[in-house]
Amino acid sequence: MSSPTSPPAAMRSRSPRPSFTPPRSNSSAERKICICDWGQRCCEFKTFFKKHPGHPYSGKAFDYTFSKSCDFQNFWAAATRYFHIPAEQQQQFISAAAATNDNPKKKERFRIARHHFPVALLQYFNAAGGMKYQPLSREILEQTGCYKHVNPP
């Protein structure tokens, strides 16, 4: 059994259908925290970790503003693939981002909840001053121990 400050075993796996059943979330604001395809489950995990403020997953979701930069476009493509965002939803977001492109105060944004990232990577980004969307170097991956079974081309 996991302690209250360690993530449930289901959170340590790559399965998008965790077996852990956290309390239900009723807040409409919490339902808008993430672009993932987990639906209500994502909100339930956010609610669970909110009750454990010392845990790396307990903080706010990462907030990203749409950009035409190459790094952001690569990040956006990887995120939408990983979270299985349907092409029509992706297009809606891109269209909304293009419509607000001239107004910096109304730039299109999306969020990714913290529990979608490995704890070691969150700790690295906290020490480095925040989450980025630039590609991670092999050195950072080795330093954090993340994705050690992935061999890049």
What is the mean predicted confidence (pLDDT) over 126-141? Answer: 77
* 45-54 per-position pLDDT tens digit: 989 999 998 8
**Among 32, 27, 36, 33, which Cα is nearest to 89's?**
36
* 20-36 per-position pLDDT tens digit: 343 444 444 444 668 88
Instruction: Name the burial class of residue 151, with classes exposed (0-12), middle (13-18) and buried (19+) by CB atoms within 10 angstroms of its CB.
Output: exposed
pTM recorded for the entire structure: 0.68
* 57-69 per-position pLDDT tens digit: 988 888 888 888 8
